[in-house]
Amino acid sequence: MAGGRLSDRITVQRKAKGTPRPGVVVTGWANLEVEPGVALQLWADFAEQPGSESLVAGRDEAVRRAVVRIKDGPLARQVTAADRLVGRGAVWKIRSTPARSQARADVLELTCEEWVNAPDWEA
């Protein structure tokens, strides 16, 4: 697929610190915002790869991977490998720095892995 149709809508999330009550600081995930109250959402194309399994904590776990393609632009260039994506009913860890597609100069590619039991926050 050389860039695809960009028919999936994704939301980009980044780690952020918050204080739910005085004296308690937690790190959680918050939508990256284009402006206050407006989440950064991008059109994307998911090229899911066949499932595989990996050994995690002594047990086999199915792993769902995808190459996610997004249209290059100032907003898309804000996405980093430390962020995560929400799309297709799942949370996706970004496993690679966004790179320009070899097939299309106007598309960035991100290698992602579905984040099963994704944490919402860390104490």
Could you tell me if residue 123 is inside a domain?
no
Domain with 81, as residue range(s), is: 8-116
Token reading at 62: 């199915």
- As a whole number, mean pLDDT of residues 97-106 equals 90
CATH number of domain containing 112 = 2.40.10.270
Could you tell me if residue 3 is inside a domain?
no
Could you tell me if residue 121 is inside a domain?
no
The pLDDT tens digits for 22-55 are 988 888 999 999 999 999 999 999 999 876 666 5
The pLDDT tens digits for 45-83 are 999 987 666 655 566 667 889 999 999 999 999 999 999
Residue 108's alpha-carbon distances to 25, 76, 99, in angstroms, are 34, 8, 5
Angle at 105 between CA 104 and CA 106, to 5 degrees: 90
The string over 44-69, giving b where at least 16 C-beta atoms fall within 10 Å of a residue's C-beta and e elsewhere, is bbbeeeeeeeeeeeeeeeeebbbbbb
